[in-house]
Amino acid sequence: MPVYRFLEYRRVIWLEGGPLSLEDQCRQAFNSLPLTTERVVTRADGTNVMGLRMRDVGQRGVFVHCGRYVDDQATGVIPMNEQRQTQVNSRRPGNAENFLNSDFLGLLFGNHVITLNAGINGASLGNYLRGLFGLAEMNEDCTKFDLVRIADVNKLAKIRSSGGVSSLKLDLAIDEAVHIALTDHVPEPANPSLGWGVRQLLAPVSEAIGDLIKNYEPASGLASSTKGTVKLEISVPAGDAILARNGMDGTAQLLVEDEDADDYVIKLRNGDTIKPSEISLKKRVRLDRFANSVDVNQAEDHMLVYAEELREGGLLE
């Protein structure tokens, strides 16, 4: 049975100038540590990450496939004979092997990275490469990098090209919600921002929240908060009315055009998200299962295609 996974794009930021590209540093480290047993990085929690292989695809970059395991840890086995009750058994690994806990993949090209199963912000891949560079006794500057989401993309174009907005999250200060509830009309500021306009669109929701905080005795103490926030989340299912979906898109466009808005998260229908300072780029792909992982060759093919789509879309500039 196939599974669906997300490919995620990150950009490499060197903290102190750093080398020319993460791709080159990775290629150098793997070449200097040719054996898999030389490429094992032990994590603080006692688990190990092994660089299972690196595949060099020339100008298109290098693939890195890593596996997590705990040395000599047994795996659980479920007996499949017919009986009313059973207990989980365990099986120890054989000689010169360990059971795979999980794995992750990365495609590195220049200072661009596409990951699969590598955790938030590609942390698993980033941490492994830093450890690997240490094992290869490379210059300390090679470890001073971070994998970040991109910030310099036309957000309006991204909303349009993604198929629209699926949900919108907005933080509203508690004192603001209470203020809306206490007044019939909030005076328009001398120089209203687009964000102020969005809050006016959401005023009925804010008023309901403010009434609850102001009038419901167990919650009334919140009215004195000057730092608390109310998180509003609005979502529109794909099958909802076109008018509602267009309204969600329009509200999101108002937010991204407001330079002062700093408290929203826009989730797009293709899985990407937009925050005031960054955009996450993802692609959902269908992969065949292999053991407790996926077909690695198939995943790598998808990653190459995604890299080309990002390049054609001008997102690697």
The beta strands (E) that lie in the chain are given as 3-14, 40-42, 48-56, 62-69, 75-77, 89-91, 102-109, 112-116, 145-148, 165-173, 229-235, 264-268, 273-275, 278-287, 289-290, 293-294
Structure confidence at residue 205 as a pLDDT band (50, 70, 90): low
**305 neighbors 9 (Cβ within 8 angstroms):** no
Does 184 have pLDDT greater than 50?
Answer: no
pLDDT at residue 183, rounded to an integer: 47
Structure confidence at residue 20 as a pLDDT band (50, 70, 90): confident
Write out pLDDT tens, residues 114-131: 999 998 878 999 999 999
pLDDT at residue 248, rounded to an integer: 73
Amino acid letter at 194? L
Instruction: Region of 266 please: left (phi>0), alpha (psi -120 to 50) or beta.
Output: beta
Percent of the chain at pLDDT exceeding 90 = 45
pLDDT at residue 193, rounded to an integer: 46
Does 198 have pLDDT greater than 60?
Answer: no
Average pLDDT, the chain: 81
**6 neighbors 279 (Cβ within 8 angstroms):** no
Pairs from 44-48 (Cβ < 8 Å, separation ≥ 24)? 46/70, 47/101
pTM of the model: 0.73
The residues pairing with 134 across neighbouring beta strands, listed in sequence order, are none
Does 148 have pLDDT greater than 90?
Answer: no
The residues pairing with 268 across neighbouring beta strands, listed in sequence order, are 165
Structure confidence at residue 172 as a pLDDT band (50, 70, 90): low
Count of alpha carbons within 13 Å of 158, Cβ hemisphere only?
A: 27
Does 113 have pLDDT greater than 60?
Answer: yes
Average pLDDT over residues 70-89: 91
